[in-house]
Structure 1
């Protein structure tokens, strides 16, 4: 989409002051701890791109507020590395660079904003190579410190800490299926058939580059089999987020040209855990207990 089309979509340039006005009208406030997901093109023509969006978000939450994003690692080794021919595996294991929270690029699938935020002076990024988060603001260290190596979406994770701080989640023009916080609900849900994955990635431990094995819920293909409880062709996270909105959770408004939504993290997790356990079933109920 070219600049003219973006300008027409947003009715002119989306500036820092216009974003601040729209974000404030949506309900973002000074002192908030907010995890945000953004589709930049949905907002329209943003004068200044990611820099302007981050500046406006910082204006909205003020000096006492904190921003958080999901990063991941763009150049992580493939999950199926152990299925490769042995010589190929050996070459990767011998020379693939270790994950570095300060320099490893955020996963491009998450858009431009996570990489832009993690590069900001003062930003802090968590230590987990595959599930890293970055934060900027007074609570950044608290949110990202000691990210659990295993079950990195569960207790003690940056997502759990976001909930504990009564944080919020902003979908700024982002699709409903991008709400990473729902992985925390999956990690907590007591439902049968929960799917896990293990994989290896290189990290630095005690000053040495080592390959470490990690265990997590299957966040790529789904921690549960949602096929019978979601419409055909619809991502399960979109289904859950639509149910959240239909139940009256969250606020919705346009920011620039983008339909955007603001949620309370605690409400999201409580609703989603209940939804999963009702739709998939609770372990005890499935066992007849």
Structure 2
């Protein structure tokens, strides 16, 4: 790849350090690199004491998502019943991630990978702290205080965005749980329990990432005013990349959302993670 830094050198330039914890969102097609090459470079950069986390979300098991409603909107009653019966139940061991990209799915399939238990917004991880960070993901908490995001916040993790923007930065959803008056709604999905399909429902924050792009722009404008900016920018292969302290991003997002979101009823405004997922 003419002119591109080797992946290991590019990650070092970005500030990825041995022993750290990374939450990675990536569009590999924009890098021109293979999933194996990027994963190998990440694991080498993090070393034996580091941890790599990726989203392993699953969209295809929910009948309360905008995607489901759009897909089934012209179905007859019989067609709808057949479709619901054919929807794959979530099995943390075997269900592939959906729409999260090839790197995320490659991590999930690693022999030493751990996956959290949420049937819609699970995470996968490899590394020394994988089991610790992904344990106890409550079934009624997509991306809040009882999810891996809260543990990543406490662990002072970094978010690495490769070829993608803040629009897909799942860590920002943690801020939605930390603002007052966030709307809630009901979610429903099918899971595998004791070898049988079972539909479950729960109430949780009405996730909305429709303004995450604007939030990211505001965060980087704020970061540029700091004596020592915390966002590191570079390239990985042919793609732009950012290394962002998760805690700084979530803290800024909590204040920004408080000041910029107007009260709304629980609806389906979300676009990327939430729109396709729930």
TM-score bin (small chain): 0.7 to 0.9
Partner of 1:278: 259
Pick the structure with greater CA Rg. 1
Alignment of 1:31-110 (within 5 A): 31-43=19-31, 45-46=32-33, 49-79=34-64, 86-108=77-99, 110=100
Does 1:188 find its partner at 2:163?
Answer: no
* Aligned-partner Cα distance in 2 for 1:79–1:158: 23
Partner of 2:124: 134
SS of residue paired to 1:276: helix
* Aligned-partner Cα distance in 1 for 2:146–2:44: 29
Could you state the TM-score of these two structures normalised by the residue count of structure 1?
Answer: 0.79
Partner of 2:103: 113
Contact residue 26 and residue 103 of structure 2 kept, 8 A: yes
Partner of 2:237: 256
Contact residue 191 and residue 200 of structure 2 kept, 8 A: yes
Could you state the TM-score of these two structures normalised by the residue count of structure 2?
Answer: 0.82
Contact residue 52 and residue 125 of structure 2 kept, 8 A: yes
Paired positions, count? 252
Moved more, 245-254 or 63-72: 245-254
* Aligned-partner Cα distance in 1 for 2:21–2:82: 42
* Aligned-partner Cα distance in 1 for 2:45–2:174: 26
Structure 1, unmatched stretches of 5+, are: 1-6, 224-234, 283-289
SS of residue paired to 2:177: helix
* Aligned-partner Cα distance in 1 for 2:201–2:253: 29
Q: Deviations over 1:165-203 (max 9, x none)?
A: 11110111212311110111112112x4x3333222122
Structure 2, unmatched stretches of 5+, are: 224-229, 264-278
Indicate how the Cα distance of structure 1 residues 256 and 95 shifts in structure 2: closer, same or farther if over 3 A, else same.
closer
Equivalent in 193, 197, 200 of residue 212 of structure 1: 200
* Aligned-partner Cα distance in 1 for 2:249–2:172: 8
SS of residue paired to 1:130: coil
Equivalent in 259, 262, 266 of residue 247 of structure 2: 266
* Aligned-partner Cα distance in 2 for 1:216–1:135: 24
Q: Which has the higher contact order (CA 8 A, sep 6+)?
A: 2
Shift of 1:92: 4.6
**Root mean square deviation, CA, Å:** 2.4
Indicate how the Cα distance of structure 1 residues 98 and 280 shifts in structure 2: closer, same or farther if over 3 A, else same.
closer
* Aligned-partner Cα distance in 1 for 2:58–2:262: 33
Moved more, 92-101 or 242-251: 92-101
Q: Deviations over 1:72-123 (max 9, x none)?
A: 1153243256987654454355454321112111112x22111111001110
Partner of 1:11: 3
* Aligned-partner Cα distance in 2 for 1:121–1:159: 23
Structure 1: which 4+ aligned runs deviate by more than 4 Å?
A: 80-86, 92-95
Equivalent in 198, 208, 220 of residue 245 of structure 1: 220
